[in-house]
Amino acid sequence: MGLHILGLCLSWFVSVHVAVSGQVEQRPAPAEAKRFPSLNHYPTLTPGLSEAIARRDSSGVLRGLADTFAATRWADSAVWERLAYIRIGEPGGVMVNRGGEATRLAADRFDLGCSGALLEALRLLWLPQVELAELAACDPEGGIDCAGDADFGHSMLRHISRKLVSRKLPTPWLAAGTELRRVRLQPRSIDRSLEQADQLQLCTVSHRARKMKGRRYYHHMVVLDPVRDKHARVHLFDTTGRRGVAYRPMRTSALARYLKITLARGNKTFAYVRGTAMLHCLGVTRPDPSPEALTAATAATAATG
């Protein structure tokens, strides 16, 4: 199914551990766990995440995911192959693919990679029952090159688009269209792509790999949230650096540098070329795009900004 591509989700991932002194484990309520089964495999569940899920507050869900995994974060970002995801079907748990086979990690390990973190956002906001295997099969349409899973990120977003379109809703989640859009990695272009406050941007970042004969790899996935803090910074949800699963404010100038340069660093296997970065995004309407929800999200973000 091409799941071993999780190892391409950049070098700067962070694993997380449950064994934290003094941490009180909180579990989801039965009804909550039934509706969102992946919650059963989280290290804990912060009150903020539970409240955001109940309110259908998408910015709060992204922030809550980061908070839920923060206390159990592993601080070593040197090893990037052990990128995991949560499987809700049997055998369920936090899984990693080794040699083409899915292996459950130890109970105190949560090595979520970029695909694994984006999958949790997708589940808690739009598709609670979706499995990564449904999104990981390479899509040969539209010029996708399946050899070596280089186009994994691009292909995964196309699968997400199809699944969101298949849901019959009064307000379509893909009101902006089903095709991925290329966003130029310049502040003004990023600002324009985030003008619709009722949409989150699910994106894949690609670079050419010097050690792979210049082939382009869609190797990292992020969510861009247009809700701004009191300093007019947008928010980035991803899994790189010692932040682990993170939701952090960034000015669009810093965001452009991060996607172009920072994400190209440190991967000796592929040796990504900094100047070749591209960003492709799928705009998805928030589960609750009402003005009241956006006002509440903006107020909460500004208070913590």
> What's residue 219's pLDDT?
87
Summarised one tens digit per residue, pLDDT across range 200-237 is 999 999 999 998 888 999 989 999 999 999 999 999 99
Report which residue type is found at 162: R
3-state helix/strand/coil string of the chain: CCHHHHHHCCCCCCCEECCCCCCCCCCCCHHHHHHCHHHHHCCCCCHHHHHHHHHCCHHHHHHHHHHHHHCCECCCCCCCCCCEEEECCCCCEEEEEECCEEEECCCCEECECHHHHHHHHHHHHCCCCCCHHHHHCCCCHHHCCCHHHCCHHHHHHHHHHHHHHHCCCCCCCCCCCCCCEEECCCHHHHHHHCCCCCEEEEEEEEEEEHHHCCCEEEEEEEEEECCCCCCCCEEEEECCHHHCCEEEEECHHHHHHHHHCHHHCCCCCCCECHHHCEEEEEEEECCCCCHHHHHHHHHHHHHHC
- How high is the mean pLDDT of the chain? 81
Model confidence, pTM: 0.86
Both tokens assigned to 301: 């973000």
> What's residue 10's pLDDT?
42
What ranges do the domains of the chain cover? 3-304
Both tokens assigned to 194: 């985030």
Q: For residues 39-52, give the mean pLDDT.
A: 91
> What's residue 35's pLDDT?
92
Q: Which position has the higher pLDDT, 186 or 109? A: 186
In the predicted structure, residue 96 carries a pLDDT above the cut 80 = yes
In the predicted structure, residue 65 carries a pLDDT above the cut 60 = yes
> What's residue 107's pLDDT?
80
> What's residue 75's pLDDT?
52
285 touches 199 (CB < 8 A): yes
Summarised one tens digit per residue, pLDDT across range 99-155 is 778 888 888 777 788 889 999 999 999 999 999 999 988 766 666 667 777 888 999
Summarised one tens digit per residue, pLDDT across range 188-205 is 999 999 999 989 999 999
In the predicted structure, residue 280 carries a pLDDT above the cut 70 = yes
In the predicted structure, residue 166 carries a pLDDT above the cut 80 = no
Residue 173 pLDDT grade (very low, low, confident, very high; cuts 50, 70, 90): confident
Summarised one tens digit per residue, pLDDT across range 5-44 is 444 554 333 333 333 334 456 888 888 889 999 999 998 8
